[in-house]
Structure 1
Amino acid sequence: MKKPVIGFVGMTHLGLISCVAAAEKGFELIGFDPDELLIARINAGDLPVSEPQLVELIKKNTNQLTFTSDLQHLQRCDVVYVAPDVSTDDLGQSDLSQINELLELAFNAARIDAVIVVLSQVPPGFTRSKLRDDRILYYQVETLIFGQAVHRALYPERYIIGCAEPSQPIPESFCLILEAHGCPILPMRFESAELAKISINMCLVASVSTANTLAELCEKIGADWSEIVPALRLDRRIGQYSYLVPGLGISGGNLERDLATVCRFGDQYGTDVGVVRAWIKNSQYRKDWVMRTLYQAVLSQMQNPVIAVLGLAYKQDTHSIKNSPSIALLENLMPFAVRLFDPVVKASAAPNPHAFAAKSELDAIDGADVVVVMTPWSQFKNLDLAQMAGKMRQRILIDPYAIFDGKKAAQVGFAYHTLGVSQ
C-alpha cells in the first residue's frame, strides 16, 4: 500500500505540531481548520504557538504540507485525526464543545473508508459514545508536552491506541502511520486508553508532589535536595528518568484537568481519591513559595523595593501562561514597582498594568533590589552574575529552579534563594 494521506482537523497546538511532525516522517499532510484567519496566519508564517524546531520543520516540509479551510481537501485523506486543544477552566474541567464540533465535521467531510482518530485528550467514555455504524473510529493518546512538543511527536515512547475491539487488527492505513515511528503500539479498549493518559500524568504528579514535599523539608533541616536526587535515580524502583525536580506546583492546565477528572469519577463511583486532593492542595501551597520567600527576604525588610521578574510563561520553551506561577505571583505584587521580561510572552499578559515592560533581561534587572526567576528559560542561564550584581541596587536573587550556581552567586554578593536548599 502506498503511504496514506493524513489529515489533521484543528490547527491549534496539538494539531499543528502533530501535523508537521508527520510531514517530517515523509507523509503528505492536510492541516484543516474552519478558522480562515488562523489558516491565513499559518500560511503567512505567523504561527499561533511557539515550540523549538517548529518553524524549521514547516519550511523543510513545505511541499508536503497543505494548510486549508476548505473541507474538500479532507476527501483526499486516508486517515483523519481530530486534534483541537481542549481547554480547561479554573477547576480543571474540560470544554468539549470544540472537539464535538470538529469530530462531527470530520465524520461528515471525510471519505466513508477513512479512519477517524480522536487525538485530543478526552475523558473516559467519550470516544465510545461517538461510535457510528458507518464510521471507523479510534482514539490515540497524545504525547504533547509544552516546550518539547515537536521532539515528543517525532520520537514517541509508545503509541496507546483506543479501539472498539482491541482484538481486531488496526486498519493498514492507520498502521502504516504508527509503524513509521518505530515504537511499541499498545491497542486497548477505548476507556483504558483514555484513562492511560490520565494514569501517566497521575504518576508524574505523584513524583512532583514527593519532590516538592521533601525539598521543602530540606530547606528547614539543612539538607540539600540536589544531593539526594542522584541516590534516588540509582534506585531501580524509581529510576534515572523519574521527575524529581522540585517546582512551584502544577501548571499548564493538562495535569490539573486529569486530577479534576479523577476526583469527579471518584465522587461519582465512590472510589477513594483523597490522595489526589492532597496533591491538589500541595500544588496550591507550592505556588506561594516565591511569595513567602520574597516576603521574608525583601518585602518585610525594605520599603518600596524594585522587583525584577524574569519569565511569564508557565515553563520554558512555550508561550502558554495557563496557571503560570509567575502570573499568580504578579497578582500579589500590584502595589510594588515591578520590571518584567520574557523572551516569548509579552509583558501585557501580566495582571499588572503598571509593571515596566523591559526590553531584555539586563534592562529588567537595572536598578532592581531583587531578581526573581520565574521561568527557567535557557537564555537566562547565560547571564553574567557579576554584571547582574553591578546593575542592581540590592543584591537578592530568588531562583527556584536553580538555573544559576548558588555558590558563584554568593561570591559576587548575592543573597541567594532556591528550592530544596536551606538558606
Structure 2
Amino acid sequence: MSKPVIGFVGMTHLGLNSCIAAAEKGFELIGFDPSAQLISEINSGHFPVSEPQLVELAQKNKSHLSFTSDINELKKCDVVYVAPDVSTNDQGESDLTTITALLDLALEATRFECVIVVLSQVPPGFTRGKLKAGRSLYYQVETLIFGQAIHRALHPERYIIGCENPEVPIPLAFAQFLEAHDCPILPMRFESAELAKISINMCLVASVSTANTLAELCEKIGADWSEIVPALKLDRRIGQFSYLSPGLGISGGNLERDLATVCHFGQKNGTDIGVVRAWIKNSEYRKEWPFKIIKEKLLTVSKSPVIAILGLAYKEDTHSIKNSPAIALIKKLQECNIRVFDPLVSNSVVNHPNCYGASSAMDACQDADAVAIMTPWKEFSALRSNDIVEMLRGKLIIDPYGVLEMNKIDDLNVEYVTLGK
C-alpha cells in the first residue's frame, strides 16, 4: 500500500515544524502558504522560525518535501493539516481570523475525499462549527514546545484526535499517517479534544505555580528547592517527569491563552474559576522577581546603574519574545543603562532609551554593575563565573534559572541570587 500524501497549510512555527518532521517519516509532504514571499524565502533556505534540527531535516528530506503558494497543489493530498499559528492579544484571547480563512481555503481546494485536520489550537466548539456535509473533518491536539518542536513532532507521547463521532473508525489515509509515529491514538468528541489541550496546560500551570510559590518560600527560610524536587519526583502521585522548575511566571502565549479561555467559558457557564485567577495573579507576581532583586540590591544605592541582560527570548532555543521576562524587566529599568545580548534575538526588539546591543555575553558584562541571565541558553552555562566577575564593575549576578555553576561562584567575591535558594 502506497503512503498517503500529506499537506500542511500555514507555514509559520506550528505548520512548518510539523511539515518538516512529517517528511522525516518518509511521507511525501506539501507545505502550502498563500504568501508567495514567505514560500520563496523558505525555498531559499531562509526559515521564518528557528528550531533545533529544522534546517538539517529540511535539507535531508528535500526529495519528498515541497513548499508552494499554488493552492492547486493541495489536490494531490490525501490528508491536509490546517496549522497556522494562532496569535493572542494581551488578555490571552485568540485571534481566529487566520485559522478560519485557511480552513475554508483548504475545504474548497482539496478533493472531496481528502481528510482535513485542524492542528492549530482552537477553543471548544470551533471544529464542530466548521463541519461541512460529507467532508471528513478532524481536530488534533498539537503539543509542540518552542525549542523542542521537531523532537516533539517526531516523538509524540500520544495523539488526541477530535471527531464528529469517535465511534466511527478514522479514515485509512489519516490512520496510516498517525500510526507511523508509533504512539497511542485517543479518539474523542471534538469538544473533549479541544478541552484536552487546555487541560494539559492547566496541569502544567498548576505545577509551575506550586513550584514558584514554594521556591520563593525557600528563599526566605533558608531551604533549597533543588533539594526538595527529587523527593517530589519519587512520589508516584507526582512523578519523575513533573514540571517542578521555578520560573518567572508564564510566558510564550499558549498557557496564557488557555487560562483566558477557561476564564471565558467559566464566566459564560457559571463554573468556578477562582483557582485559575489565582494562577494568573501568581504569574504576574513572579514576573516581578528580578526587578525586586535589582531594586533592593542596586537601585537603592545607584540611580542609573549599568545592567547587563543576557537573553531576550522567553526561553532557550527559540526566537519568540512573547511575554518575555527579559523584555518585561527592561521596561522597568528605563532610568538605567542597559547592555543586552541574545544568541538569536536582535537587540532591535528592545524599546529603551539607553540600550547597547552587545556582540557577546562578555561584551555585555563589560563594566556593568550587575548581570541578569534572563534566558537559560546553553552557551551561557558555558561561561566561566570568574570571567564574568572580572568583567563586571559591580558584584551582583542574578541567575534565576541557575545557569552558572554554584560551586564555582561560592569562592568568588560576588553576590549571587537564584530562584529557590
The two structures have a TM-score, normalised by structure 1, of 0.99
Give the letter for the 1:38 counterpart.
L
CA distance in 2, matches of 1:229, 1:300: 34
Provide the secondary structure at the position in 1 that maps to 2:131: coil
C-alpha deviation, 1:143, in angstroms: 1.2
1:285-296 matched pairs, under 5 angstroms: 285-296=285-296
Aligned to 2:361: 361
Conserved? CA contact 2:336–2:354, under 8 Å = no
**1:216 counterpart = 2:254:** no
1:309-320 matched pairs, under 5 angstroms: 309-320=309-320
Provide the secondary structure at the position in 2 that maps to 1:126: coil
C-alpha deviation, 1:297, in angstroms: 1.4
Provide the secondary structure at the position in 1 that maps to 2:322: coil
1:222-237 matched pairs, under 5 angstroms: 222-237=222-237
C-alpha deviation, 1:305, in angstroms: 1.4
Give the letter for the 1:315 counterpart.
K
**1:273 counterpart = 2:267:** no
Provide the secondary structure at the position in 2 that maps to 1:275: helix
Aligned to 1:59: 59
Provide the secondary structure at the position in 2 that maps to 1:152: helix
Give the letter for the 1:350 counterpart.
V
Aligned structure 1 segments of 4 or more residues deviating by more than 4 angstroms? none
C-alpha deviation, 1:409, in angstroms: 1.4
Q: How many residues align?
A: 421
Provide the secondary structure at the position in 2 that maps to 1:340: strand
Conserved? CA contact 2:385–2:405, under 8 Å = no
CA distance in 2, matches of 1:292, 1:224: 20
C-alpha deviation, 1:304, in angstroms: 2.6
CA distance in 2, matches of 1:210, 1:121: 26
Aligned to 1:103: 103
Aligned to 2:187: 187
Provide the secondary structure at the position in 2 that maps to 1:318: coil
Aligned to 1:415: 415
Provide the secondary structure at the position in 2 that maps to 1:290: helix
Conserved? CA contact 2:313–2:345, under 8 Å = yes
CA distance in 2, matches of 1:59, 1:66: 11
Aligned to 1:264: 264
Aligned to 1:13: 13
CA distance in 2, matches of 1:276, 1:237: 22
Give the letter for the 1:43 counterpart.
N
1:243-392 matched pairs, under 5 angstroms: 243-392=243-392
C-alpha deviation, 1:144, in angstroms: 1.1
CA distance in 2, matches of 1:230, 1:238: 11
CA distance in 2, matches of 1:186, 1:36: 36
Aligned to 1:165: 165
C-alpha deviation, 1:405, in angstroms: 2.2
C-alpha deviation, 1:293, in angstroms: 0.7
CA distance in 2, matches of 1:282, 1:51: 30
C-alpha deviation, 1:189, in angstroms: 0.2
1:66-108 CA-to-partner distances (Å, cap 9, x unmatched) read 1000011100000000000000000000000000000000001
Provide the secondary structure at the position in 1 that maps to 2:410: helix
1:321-363 CA-to-partner distances (Å, cap 9, x unmatched) read 0000111001011111110000000001012143000000011
Provide the secondary structure at the position in 2 that maps to 1:411: coil
C-alpha deviation, 1:394, in angstroms: 1.2
CA distance in 2, matches of 1:70, 1:353: 45
Aligned to 2:30: 30
Give the letter for the 2:309 counterpart.
V
Conserved? CA contact 2:369–2:392, under 8 Å = yes
Aligned to 1:81: 81
Conserved? CA contact 2:82–2:117, under 8 Å = yes
Give the letter for the 2:405 counterpart.
D
More displaced, 240-249 or 407-416? 407-416
Give the letter for the 2:298 counterpart.
V
Provide the secondary structure at the position in 2 that maps to 1:338: strand
Q: 1:377 to 1:107 in 2, by over 3 A?
A: same
Provide the secondary structure at the position in 2 that maps to 1:255: helix
Conserved? CA contact 2:307–2:337, under 8 Å = yes
1:274-318 CA-to-partner distances (Å, cap 9, x unmatched) read 000000000000000000011111111234311000000000000
C-alpha deviation, 1:389, in angstroms: 1.1
CA distance in 2, matches of 1:177, 1:330: 45
Give the letter for the 2:411 counterpart.
Q
More displaced, 297-306 or 104-113? 297-306
More displaced, 208-217 or 353-362? 353-362
C-alpha deviation, 1:231, in angstroms: 0.4
Unaligned stretches of 5+ residues in structure 2: none
CA distance in 2, matches of 1:360, 1:258: 36
What's the RMSD between the two structures over aligned residues? Answer: 0.7
1:128-169 CA-to-partner distances (Å, cap 9, x unmatched) read 000010311000000111111010000000000000010000
Provide the secondary structure at the position in 2 that maps to 1:30: strand
Give the letter for the 2:183 counterpart.
C
CA distance in 2, matches of 1:372, 1:299: 14
C-alpha deviation, 1:411, in angstroms: 1.1
1:131-142 matched pairs, under 5 angstroms: 131-142=131-142
CA distance in 1, matches of 2:343, 2:256: 26
1:219-258 CA-to-partner distances (Å, cap 9, x unmatched) read 1111110110010000000000000000000000000000
CA distance in 2, matches of 1:149, 1:301: 44
C-alpha deviation, 1:213, in angstroms: 0.3
Provide the secondary structure at the position in 1 that maps to 2:127: helix
CA distance in 1, matches of 2:62, 2:312: 32
**1:156 counterpart = 2:156:** yes
More displaced, 5-14 or 300-309? 300-309
CA distance in 1, matches of 2:302, 2:69: 57
